[in-house]
Amino acid sequence: MSDFQSNIKGFRVAGVHAGLKKDGVLDMAFVVSDAPCSAAGVFTTNQMKAAPVLVDIEKLTASQTGYRAVVVNTRCANACTGDQGVVNAREMARYAAEKLGCDPVQVLVMSTGVIGTHLPMEKIRHGIDLGSVGLGQDWEAAARGIMTTDTRPKFASTSVALSGGTVTISGISKGAGMIAPNMATMLGVIATDAILAPEAAQSMLASAARHTFNCIVIDGDMSTNDTVLMLANGASGVSVTSPDDLAAFNAALFAVSKSLAQAIVRDGEGVTKFITLNVQGAPDDAAAHQIANAIATSPLVKTAFFGKDANWGRIVAAAGRSGVPIVADRTQLWITAGSDLWLTDDSLHLFENGMPTAYSEATASAIFAEPDVSILLDAGMGGDGKATIWTCDLSYDYVKINGDYRS
C-alpha cells in the first residue's frame, strides 16, 4: 500500500476548509472523475438512515452508471433532519454538479458529524466553490477533509497487473467511534481506473465490505450515515472480465479495503490496543461471526485489555452468551502477541476442557500488555465455520471524547 501517492488515472481530488470546523481545519472532500463511472455502494443497515444515504441509495437503485463525483462534508451528519435534510442533500449534489459541469444525478454525497442538525448550506456551497477549483492529486488532503474525531488520515492504494494491463485502486476512509459490524459511522470512497461492469463492481464491493468493513468493532454502536462507494472510470483502458482478472482485482480490492478498515480500528476513539479476534470450530461462518462479535463488543473484555489485565474469563463468558450453543468442555482459547495471527508456536493456551490450563500468568499479562494482540477461540463444535473481527480496547479517552462530542 502506498502512502498518499496514487498513479490512478482520470481522478482528481480535493480537501478544503469550508468553515464547518474552526481554525482552518479541512472539513470537506471531493473525489471527481474526468469521465463517467460505474458506481457501487454499501450502506448502513440502521433504520434511521441519514438523508445523504437515502439520496445515494435512490440514485444507485435507478442507475449504477454515469457518475462523476462524490462530495463529502463533516461536522453535520444531516441525519434525523426530515424532508428538509433530503432537500439539502439534493441541493448539495445539485450545486456541486453545477460547479463541476455535470448533471446532479451524476453526483453522490456523504455527510458525517452530529445527528439532528441541518446542513449549513452557505458553508457547504462555499466549500464546493473551493473544491471545484482546487482539484488535483492531493489524496492526503481529501482524506483529511472527511475526518471527524479521527487523529490521522486514512488512505490506501495498490496496482494490479491484469491480462490487458495494469489498473490502480485507491481509497480514503474515516471512522473513529460508533463502529460495529455492518460498518457504522464510517465513510469510504474507493476509486479505480479499471473498466468494470456495474454488476461486477457491486458484487466485489459488497464482498470486500463483508470481509473487512463489516468485521471491525470500536464500541458496538451503529451510525445513521455509514457508506462506502466505489467509482470505476475505465481510464486505464483495461477491462476486468475474465475469471482470472476478476479474481486478481477482487484480491486487490480486498487488500485496499482491509488496509482502510484496520486503519479505522487503530485510530479509534481513545484506542491503545489493536486486537485480532479469530473464532473457529463453529457450525458455519455466520455462527463464528456471532461469537466473535459478542466478544468484540463486550465492555468487560475491552476494558481488561486497556488495563493490561489477563482476565481471559471475560472472553469465554462473552462467547457463552453469544446465542450460539457452544459447550464449555469443548471450547479452547489461545492468545498471541501480534496482529492477524491464528495459532502459532508462540500462542499461549489459556483454556480447555472447561477449565484453565497450567499457563504462566506472567506470560499472559505480558501478552495482554502488548499493543497488538491476537485471540483464537475454538468453539469446539466440529464445524468449519470461522470468522475474524478486528477490534480494540475501551479507554478513559473514549468516554471523554464521547461525553462532550457536541461541545
Active-site positions read 185
The rounded distance, in Å, linking the Cα atoms of 67 and 37 is 5
Q: Please state at what angle helix 243-266 crosses helix 198-211, rounded to 10 degrees.
A: 40
Q: Which residues contact 186 (CB under 8 A, 6 or more apart)?
A: 173, 174, 175, 179, 213, 216, 223, 226, 228, 264
Q: How many residues does the chain have?
A: 407
The rounded distance, in Å, linking the Cα atoms of 313 and 323 is 17
**Nearest one of 244, 238, 393 to 307, comparing CA atoms:** 393
The rounded distance, in Å, linking the Cα atoms of 49 and 143 is 23
Phi, psi (degrees; rounded to nearest 5) at 329: -65, -20
**Nearest one of 216, 220, 270 to 395, comparing CA atoms:** 270
The rounded distance, in Å, linking the Cα atoms of 322 and 316 is 10
The rounded distance, in Å, linking the Cα atoms of 175 and 271 is 12
The rounded distance, in Å, linking the Cα atoms of 344 and 72 is 43
Q: By the 8 A CB rule, do 333 and 351 touch?
A: yes
The rounded distance, in Å, linking the Cα atoms of 222 and 310 is 28
Three-class SS state of 246: helix
Q: Cell match 483495461: residue?
A: 238
The rounded distance, in Å, linking the Cα atoms of 284 and 387 is 9
Please classify residue 164 by burial: count the beta carbons closer than 10 Å to its beta carbon, then call 0-12 exposed, 13-18 middle and 19+ buried.
middle
